[in-house]
Amino acid sequence: MIKQILVFARKSMKLTILIAVSIFLIICAVALFFKPIYAVTLNGQAVGYSKDKSELQARINEYIESGEGGQNSSIAFVQVENLPEYKMCLLKRNIVTNDDEIFEIIKQSGVPYYKFYAILEGEEEKAYVSEFSQAEDIVKKLKEKDSNNIDKISILEMYDTEVKEFSEVEATVAALYQKKVVKVTRPKSTGSVNTSTKISQQKVPIGINLIRPISGTITSRFAHVSSLRVSKHTGLDIAAPTGTKIKAAAGGTVTFSGYKGSYGYLTVINHGNGIETYYGHCSKLYVTAGQQVNQGDVIAAVGNTGNSTGPHLHLEIRINGVAYNPQNYLY
């Protein structure tokens, strides 16, 4: 009986060794003829293969943030409508990766935006300068000269696809200066109402701490002008895959949850004291109007509904109806 057990044990050991050797040979064969690689698609179309998706995506993100290699400091960012998607697979070792070609395809769809500053008199843009210090100098000199219109002068940070013609500080001061008069005749109001959404680049205290609703790449900034819109951008666009969970930036009451024109599927949360956050272009809505939510609760999913060219979250922060730059508080 013991002899039979020993014979069986020897056979089992030989079988185990044979299986282990077979597995090892299979792994060696796969490693010899195949390699892990990332298949890359853009808008659902295959554009090639990448050896390192992290390296390629980091290169794309750097391009979006400041232009290629950050060489042109006047470029504030590059708007890229659609980002590539990656899928790992095993392919033959003779497959050639084309990271540079994929990057060039992304660049072809990129629209560079330049940052500059407008000097406003009321709502009218009067002059443009490249540096904020120049804009501050203009306002300071007009105050020193006690210009009659100083209360109407303001500075607006702007982004555009074309660089404006910049003005000299002294020439701008001379053009804007108005001598004070004893009497000022003010025209009566015509009663007309501007129905467009007011926006402001100022940072005002809101008394609450906000968290990021999602993580992703910023593809469209606050106040920039695009052919896709009839007015300046009232929020911030953060690209992320469809279905990505969107969290409430702060606790509050849901005042709207449904489909609303160019916003697509939209959720609006009232946080009190006139503060609201908007979450647009969603694919799914998980809350309803009147519902109380806590900070960090999942309220919706990223989508591509409404006036949208790719999956992303359109985030707005409004105070008493005025849209403020979300990057003053987040991202």
Domain residue ranges in the chain:
1-109, 114-176, 199-328
What's the pLDDT tens digit per position in 263-298?
A: 899 999 999 999 999 999 999 999 999 999 999 999
pLDDT reported for residue 15: 67
Give the predicted TM-score (pTM) of the model: 0.45
Yes or no: say if 217 and 238 are a contact pair by the CB < 8 Å rule: yes
What's the pLDDT tens digit per position in 238-257?
A: 999 999 999 999 999 999 99
The per-residue DSSP string of 104-144 comes to HHHHHT-EEEEEEEEEEETTEEEEEES-HHHHHHHHHHHHH
Yes or no: say if 83 and 60 are a contact pair by the CB < 8 Å rule: yes
Residue 215 has pLDDT above 50, yes or no: yes
Does the domain at residues 199-328 carry the CATH identifier 2.70.70.10? Answer: yes
What's the pLDDT tens digit per position in 113-133?
A: 888 888 989 888 899 998 889
Phi, psi (5° rounding) for residue 260?
Answer: -140, 90
What does the pLDDT average to over 222-235? Answer: 71
Residue whose C-alpha is closest to residue 155's, from 180, 171, 167, 138: 138
pLDDT reported for residue 111: 85
Residue whose C-alpha is closest to residue 238's, from 323, 157, 330, 162: 330
Least confident of 60-69, 94-103, 201-210: 60-69
